[in-house]
Amino acid sequence: MNEINIARLAKVIDHTNLRNDLSFDDVRAFCDEALEYGFYSVCLQPFYVSFAMNYLKGKNVKVGSIAGFPYGATPSILKIAEVESLVKLGIDEIDFVMNLPAFLNRQYDTVESEFERIVEICHSNYVILKIIIETGLLIPEEIAMATRLVCTSGVDFVKTSTGIVSRGATFEDIIIIKENIFEGTKIKAAGGIRSFDDILKFIEAGASRIGTSRAVDIFKTHYPNQSPD
């Protein structure tokens, strides 16, 4: 893979660290990694967002965070408040966990109304919204249904997993999502992505964004003597 393609590959990566015991020096170093390797974004816990946004201001790395994490079971009013607070900080992207209890109990109106409200908040402020459907807790028919609900609401991305609650993404998940996705919605694969081959296979299956906490290790292993720039 040549240098241009390395740079293109880096631009599908959400460089992710959702630990809650980071020092600000850790966050600064993490952001520096994203700058060095040319990753699309950093994804951090909400507490670190202001610091990361200030540090990366004017630089070519987006800042993302999470809401409703990791179970999606928080009452909607609180999840919406989380989204609103992140939007006020000027966040670029939000990864939001679907209300899994409501979905699994077939309360689809509840799920959709929550989606519609956060889409309104995010899109009116030019914030990209990704909905985590937690594929590891769903059977194939449920993955398909969740994908259609996400797309109907006009969300930007269907995301596979939190990487915490269940198994991570599988290639089969991506195939099911791709078969049920509407034009205008993209796929983010996340959870358990640990190798260069994983990244390429998920992209080939249909993902256009990859979330991983191992991006630096992956790039160092496969391009030890090449700059991603």
Active site residues: 95, 159, 188
Distance in angstroms (rounded) separating the CA atoms of residues 131 and 12: 17
Distance in angstroms (rounded) separating the CA atoms of residues 44 and 41: 10
Distance in angstroms (rounded) separating the CA atoms of residues 220 and 37: 10
Which residues are CB-contacts of 59 (< 8 A; sequence separation ≥ 6)?
35
Q: Cβ(120)–Cβ(149) under 8 Å?
A: no
> Helix, strand or coil for residue 186?
strand
